[in-house]
Amino acid sequence: MRTVNSAAWLMNCGVHPKPAASRPGRNSANKFIKPIRLALQVLAALFVCGSASAQEGGISGSVKEGSNGIGLPGVIIAVQEYGSGALAGMGATDASGNYFVRVPSMGKYALVVSRLGYDNAAAPALIELSEISPHRTANFSMNRSAWPKGKRTKPVMSWETGSGKSYAIPAYEIPAFLILLNRVDRYAYPDLTEDGKNVYDTNFSTFKDHVFHGRWGADRDSFAMNQFNHPYHGTLYHGFARSAGLNYWESLVYDNAGSLLWETGGETTHPSINDQVASGIGGSFFGEVLFRMANLMLEDDRDGSKPGFWRKFGAAVLSPSAGFNRYAYGDRFKAPFPSNDPSIRWRLQLGESVKSDLNDQGATSTSNRNEATLDYSMDYGMPGKPGYSYDRPFDYFQFELTTLGNRSNPVDNIMIRGLLLGKEYEAGNSYQGIWGLYGGYDYISPYIFRVSSTSLSLGTTYQWSPSQSVSMQGSALGGFGYAAGGNISPEGERDYHYGIGPQVLLAFRLIVGDTAMFDLTGRTYYLNGKGGIDPGGREVIGRLNMGFTIRIYDRHALGIQYILSSRDARYPDRPDSHQKVGTIALVYNLLGHAGLGAIK
């Protein structure tokens, strides 16, 4: 029969029994008092453990010295929430090297085990407490630090615990990048002036004037500069912060600080609201997607093999500032961001448009012009995979990029939506979904007009599998965005208009086995002129993508696509505008390992 150490059990429950003092003449009294005291302590322990187990959990164990196996006292045990790094509990080992740390609720936790003069213990990456298992055990072994004389070990950043991350490194990298960018622009555009001033001839006086007397408004830069280049600059700020170990929300602060610094110190023109939104917010959405995709390339394969040169190079191309930090700081920032093994569907399309119908101001024309297209799309973290959770921003996102063989208009669209805050839900065994607040960045530029938006929306993404061979996936989102829309041909001081307005997205995908797929996505943007310089106007812009794909062999498939874009604009100082363009394209598809993308 196994014996139980009652004192240790009581200490784990938060009750600390004290031995009765041995005094002359008291032995007979202690003979009766000790059992009574122990019984009372056991009852107290049962009450404490019983009440705590309903709401709290705990982690216990021991820490021993690696050289001799003797319990190590005075070791600090910090329990942090997994992912966020927030401190959930703290304790220390006793004289025998044992510890117990209570945490306030069930959930996922990581441990940091440290003591001065010793190397930090290698703690489990994840300890999960649940109502079934509210108490877990974790034992450790520690060795004395062996620092070379005159040198200190360099910190290595841990995504699980947050140790080794740096707020200071991106705080000087971002300003240094902006100073370098300003110097390059001075050299590249020496004659670019606005309001009689060289745009990039900035100094402390212009910076001070913008900070204290700056008149914020909408600038006159081109559509591509404001709606693509500025968000891409924001992805660089984001990559500097994220690769230094900061979480998404912390990096969002750095993104907006970098954008503000450029608006006040990078140019002599007045600061612009549209650039602040595009770089600081749109750049964070765009940058988080690129950061996640780059880190997917850096993770080990399922068989344990490490990424080679080309995967590391591809990751640096996707997120150059993160790649810079991995190279510049050695091993400190080389650990890839943990994806937590999401469901991933990706598809690469090569195609050629074969017919285009154009309606501009009532005049209709049809052309059979051939134009090469390249499209890449990824669904990251689609609902339906057991064990995957949505604790961090962009644990789900959808990304699509389409380029054209057209020098004057090479980028047809970039479309991003990602879950910022939300939860998963299900209905039975066949329906799984997520819902919450989504962030979106869209850049759409067909032949005759364009639209771009940085938005926040409420909505849901789901998968319903009524049978083993049929799956339906989709999203429904509605919210508000700060958008820009307009003609290709300029009217007035710029060829587009800003405004705040509602927007809607509906997406549907039908997958039959691993053989065929039909997908349909519709977007609508309404610009009412508020927040821009044309308060009396409005625009309604729509985009419809429809396609059919059939798998031919293994990961190879063929398909046909139809894209319809429309714009209806009314402004008091110019004629009404009604435009529509539709394109049909034949495409070859290279599918990812998930095939057509149904989550089993």
pLDDT tens per residue, range 147-206: 555 555 567 888 888 888 999 999 999 999 999 999 999 998 888 888 778 888 988 889
Same domain, 274 and 371: no
Q: Is 159 strand, coil or helix?
A: coil
CATH number at residue 87: 2.60.40.10
Domain total of the chain: 3
For residue 24, pLDDT beyond 50: no
**Cα–Cα distances in angstroms (integers) from residue 305 to residues 60, 308, 309, in the given order:** 34, 9, 13
Report percent pLDDT > 70 for the chain.
84
Q: Which of 98, 124, 142 is the last residue of a domain?
A: 142
> Is residue 159 in a domain?
no
- The burial of 229, by beta-carbon neighbours within 10 Å (0-12 exposed, 13-18 middle, 19 or more buried), is given as middle
Lowest mean pLDDT among 113-127, 159-173, 359-373, 434-448: 359-373
Give 288-339 pLDDT, tens digit per residue.
999 999 999 999 887 777 888 999 999 999 999 999 999 999 888 999 999 9
Same domain, 100 and 234: no
Same domain, 453 and 366: yes
> Is residue 324 in a domain?
no
- The closest alpha carbon to 510, from 596, 579, 403, belongs to 596
Same domain, 120 and 198: no
Give 454-505 pLDDT, tens digit per residue.
999 999 999 999 998 999 999 999 999 999 887 755 444 456 788 888 999 9
Same domain, 174 and 87: no
Q: Which of 237, 266, 298 is the last residue of a domain?
A: 298
Same domain, 29 and 177: no
> Are 525 and 497 contacting, i.e. CB atoms less than 8 angstroms apart?
no
Same domain, 71 and 180: no
**Cα–Cα distances in angstroms (integers) from residue 379 to residues 47, 130, 408, 473, in the given order:** 49, 30, 29, 11
Q: Which pLDDT band, with edges at 50, 70 and 90, does 34 fall under?
A: low
Same domain, 121 and 235: no
> Is residue 501 in a domain?
yes
> Is residue 327 in a domain?
no
Tell me the pLDDT of the chain averaged across its residues: 84
Q: Which of 238, 267, 298 is the last residue of a domain?
A: 298
Same domain, 387 and 514: yes
Same domain, 294 and 206: yes
CA distance 460 to 470: 20
Q: Is 459 strand, coil or helix?
A: strand
What letter would DSSP give residue 460? E
Mean pLDDT of 35-49: 47
Q: Which pLDDT band, with edges at 50, 70 and 90, does 364 fall under?
A: low
- Supply the pLDDT for residue 549: 96
Of 347-361, 412-426, 526-540, where does the model show the most confidence? 412-426
Q: Show the domain range for 269.
A: 168-298
Q: Which pLDDT band, with edges at 50, 70 and 90, does 81 fall under?
A: confident
Same domain, 293 and 357: no
CA distance 359 to 527: 21
> Is residue 163 in a domain?
no
Encode 133-168: b = buried (16+ Cβ within 10 Å), e = exposed: ebbbebebebeeeeeeeeeeeeeebbbbbbbbbbee
